[in-house]
Amino acid sequence: MDNIMEVKNLAKSYGRSIALNGISFNVPKGKIVGVLGPNGSGKTTLIKIIMSLLSGYTGEVLVKGLPPGTEANKLVSYLPDVGHLPPWFKVCEAINLFADYYTDFEKSRAEQMLTSMKIPFDKKIKKLSRGMQEKVQIALVMSRRASLYLLDEPIGAVDPASREFILDTILRNFPEDSSILLSTHIIADIEPVLDIAIFLKDGEIVLNDEVDNIREDKNTSLDQLFREVFRNVY
């Protein structure tokens, strides 16, 4: 199976604090891979390294054979864990910003998604609720024709009623020859869409397998297994 991304022996420390301890995994083409763990487990550090936002690490990250940097970033559509749109922009201006900046951005898809989400185009980002802001960002990110969609806590800011809609939007809007890597600590809602689960604990991978295999081998849901593995964290 072809891999969109490969991570090999990746390690990163902040002084004496180890954020990632020599982790290795692959993201196969056409799969949705979840990096699952509590806050402080190393998820955001991993994503920032992939996006070349952090240096001073050892090991290797390759996106379609390219190391982190400008060329690799062109292949990645990234949703950070914090808002990244200018709050004074109207929604329509945010759409135009993406259209001007990304050559693989499909404006009509973004407009269609935002219309289905009932997002007003003439309203400023800062006037939208946190959940609506998250929907705008997801619609814009998923409207690029990227090889890898990198989503950091994509449903962390929305109410439970909106999560299913957002996950359905993600599922319906990524090409079959692309992949998604998402990080989250909200497992029950995300479990139905995952193909592969990676449990990250204290900077180390403690589980990496297809979700169907995990359910069969452990005779439990991914959500319940997560609660058991991280019982002492929450």
Domains parsed from the chain with CATH numbers: 3-229 (3.40.50.300)
pLDDT-derived band at 173, boundaries 50, 70, 90: confident
pLDDT-derived band at 46, boundaries 50, 70, 90: very high
- Least confident stretch, 21-25, 134-138, 202-206: 134-138
pTM: 0.92
For residues 10 and 20, the answer to whether their CB atoms sit within 8 Å is yes
Burial profile 23-40: b = 16 or more Cβ within 10 angstroms, e = fewer: bebbbebbbbbbbbbeee
Segment holding 125, helix H or strand E: none
For residues 214 and 40, the answer to whether their CB atoms sit within 8 Å is no
Q: What is the pLDDT of residues 55-88, one digit of tens each?
A: 999 999 999 999 999 999 999 999 987 778 889 9
